[in-house]
């Protein structure tokens, strides 16, 4: 687009200059009144070595330039309020604003972790209610909200398993992790002191019970299983899998990162799961794109309850108190009790939906993912023929014949106004396109997204080189991502 239309400059800025580039000597964004006290020489008061005349290279701009600069930059952001995030609950999904209103209530938002119990009864009631509701949703006997995030919940869960087995005289040595599990699972097992054995998925993207049975012996402490797994497939043999592990005295750990596909429809505790964590920020509100905050609630069956992190809530004479007398507890896993704001949002989400509403949200998530699968299967190769759950995973196998890979398709999708899907993950699917629309997207948005991917597929057939060099309509064209990652420039040098 030209910078001028005749003599009229449009109020559309395609390339916003840096504040350093807008700087002119002498500009200020503030005015101070004349001193009404005697002036003090800073060098004399603070020492000359601690004072400098100016900040080298500091931009000098007016107030209006600062305001307009950052306001214009804010319009460049792609957010959930603008359109679909096909990364889904794993990174960002729309969450009801009522949750934010509740979390900002003064009595909850300003509750101090060191205030006495008699002033914290409301906050403790929030924790108690959420633990109760999550236990029912999980089908578990007890829940702790102390872990700060999903991976922290994983670690807590495996430490519970270790403590339980140690109490029986043998913590065992190995943890089994399917190749379809989340990448944090093997890291968690290693940090907890276990060796990791990887189980290969079968052609349906599931665990093969026969392969599992051959791998389980008296040295196996547990298996960490994600269900639905990372390829969006439900482990249909989960009850049989749990039986194989329990027969050998091993525990079944479930990564609940994909619980968005189960809430209100199925309870992990009914599958034979002994311990699971749930990313509350994925399934029960609080978008966590950008790294936080999160909450890693952990649910356990009764035999693991004594080992839960302390302290635990207890009711004494009609009021809440903390129980520190937990001799078998693995101890604290966090200084305070979870990320409280996230817990408030999760409780608000559950109470606003109710049981039927939570079930409907899950059904909508499943429907949306399978609608996308049905529309795109003729254009992109589905990774596994097994029925998709809340997400569908495609491969770039068809497009690769034209020299176009999943990363190229994702870049081209930006030109169509959509945030890219999850690229090249899960790793067991070469050239993966993982798409999770979540429950809140309307059909019109799903159709627009599918239309864009179908159009890109046709572009690849007609002009693959054009797609290979996308994006074309962004302020910054394709960058050298490898160099950017290995040699990042984080300081302005004037170049």
Domain boundaries of the chain, sorted by first residue = 19-74, 97-352, 357-485
Q: Is the pLDDT of residue 187 over 90?
A: yes
Pick among 3.40.50.300, 3.90.650.10, 3.40.50.2020, 3.40.640.10: CATH of 97-352: 3.40.640.10
Of 13 and 407, the structure prediction assigns the larger pLDDT to 407
Of 218 and 88, the structure prediction assigns the larger pLDDT to 218
Q: Going by C-beta distance under 8 Å and a sequence separation of 6 or more, which residues neighbour residue 196?
A: 174, 175, 176, 177, 186, 189, 190
pLDDT tens string 10-51: 445 567 888 999 999 888 888 889 999 999 999 999 999 999
The three-state secondary structure class of 80 is: coil
- How far is Cα 445 from Cα 442, in angstroms, rounded to an integer? 6
- Which whole number is the average pLDDT over 328-339? 91
pTM given for the model: 0.88
Cβ-defined contacts of 351-359 (< 8 Å, 24+): 351/133, 352/96, 352/98, 352/99, 355/264, 356/264, 358/137, 358/263, 358/264, 359/263, 359/264, 359/265
Q: What percent of the chain has pLDDT over 70?
A: 95
CB atoms within 10 A of CB 479: 8
- How far is Cα 252 from Cα 161, in angstroms, rounded to an integer? 9
Q: Is 78 buried (19+), middle (13-18) or exposed (0-12) by CB count in 10 A? A: middle
- Which whole number is the average pLDDT over 286-306? 86
The three-state secondary structure class of 222 is: strand
Please, which pLDDT band fits residue 1 given cuts at 50, 70 and 90? Answer: very low
Residue whose C-alpha is closest to residue 295's, from 317, 316, 284, 280? 280
Res 28: pLDDT: 86
Q: Does domain 357-485 have CATH number 3.90.1150.10?
A: yes
Dihedrals phi, psi of 481, to nearest 5 degrees: -70, -35
Asked if 307 contacts 164 with a C-beta cutoff of 8 angstroms, the reply is yes
Q: Is the pLDDT of residue 89 over 70?
A: yes
Residue whose C-alpha is closest to residue 352's, from 146, 114, 102? 102
Res 74: pLDDT: 86
């Amino acid at each position: 687009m030209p910078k001028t239309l005749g003599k009229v400059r449009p109020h559309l800025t395609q390339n916003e200059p840096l504040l350093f580039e807008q700087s002119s000597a002498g500009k200020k964004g503030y005015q101070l009144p004349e001193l009404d006290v005697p002036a003090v020489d800073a060098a004399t008061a603070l020492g000359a070595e601690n004072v400098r005349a100016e900040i080298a290279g500091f931009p000098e701009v007016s107030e209006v330039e600062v305001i307009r600069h950052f306001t214009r930059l804010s319009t460049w952001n792609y957010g959930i309020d603008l359109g679909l995030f096909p990364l889904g609950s794993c990174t960002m999904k729309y969450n009801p604003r009522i949750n934010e209103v509740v979390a900002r209530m003064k009595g909850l938002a300003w509750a101090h972790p060191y205030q006495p119990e008699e002033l914290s009864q409301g906050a403790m009631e929030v924790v108690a209610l959420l633990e109760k509701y999550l236990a029912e949703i999980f089908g578990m006997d007890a829940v702790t909200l102390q872990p700060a995030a999903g991976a922290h919940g994983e670690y807590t869960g495996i430490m519970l398993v270790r403590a339980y087995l140690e109490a029986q005289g043998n913590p065992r040595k190995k943890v089994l992790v399917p190749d379809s599990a989340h990448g944090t699972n093997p890291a968690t097992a290693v940090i907890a002191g276990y060796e990791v054995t990887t189980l290969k998925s079968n052609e349906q993207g599931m665990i093969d019970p026969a392969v599992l049975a051959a791998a389980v012996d008296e040295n196996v402490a547990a298996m960490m299983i994600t269900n639905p797994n990372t390829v969006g497939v439900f482990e249909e043999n989960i009850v049989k899998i749990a039986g194989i592990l329990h027969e050998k005295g091993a525990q079944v750990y479930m990564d609940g990162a994909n619980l968005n596909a189960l809430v209100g429809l199925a309870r992990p505790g009914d599958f034979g799961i002994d311990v699971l964590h749930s990313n509350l920020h994925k399934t029960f509100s609080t978008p966590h794109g950008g790294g936080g905050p999160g909450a890693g609630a952990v649910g356990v069956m009764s035999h693991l309850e004594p080992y839960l992190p302390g302290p635990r809530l207890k009711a004494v004479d009609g009021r809440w108190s903390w129980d520190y007398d937990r001799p078998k507890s693995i101890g604290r896993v966090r200084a305070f009790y979870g990320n409280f704001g996230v817990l408030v949002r999760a409780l608000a989400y559950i109470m606003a939906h109710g049981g039927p509403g939570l079930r409907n949200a899950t059904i909508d998530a499943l429907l949306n993912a399978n609608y996308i699968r049905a529309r795109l299967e003729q254009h992109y190769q589905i990774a596994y023929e097994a029925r998709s759950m809340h997400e569908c995973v495609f491969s770039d196998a068809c497009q690769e014949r034209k020299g176009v890979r999943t990363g190229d398709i994702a870049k081209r999708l930006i030109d169509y106004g959509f945030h890219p899907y999850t690229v090249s993950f899960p790793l067991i699917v070469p050239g993966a396109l993982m798409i999770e629309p979540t429950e809140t997207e309307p059909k019109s948005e799903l159709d627009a997204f599918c239309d864009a991917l179908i159009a890109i597929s046709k572009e690849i057939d007609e002009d693959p080189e054009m797609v290979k060099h996308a994006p074309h309509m962004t302020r910054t064209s394709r960058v050298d991502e490898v160099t950017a990652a290995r040699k990042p420039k984080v300081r302005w040098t004037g170049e």
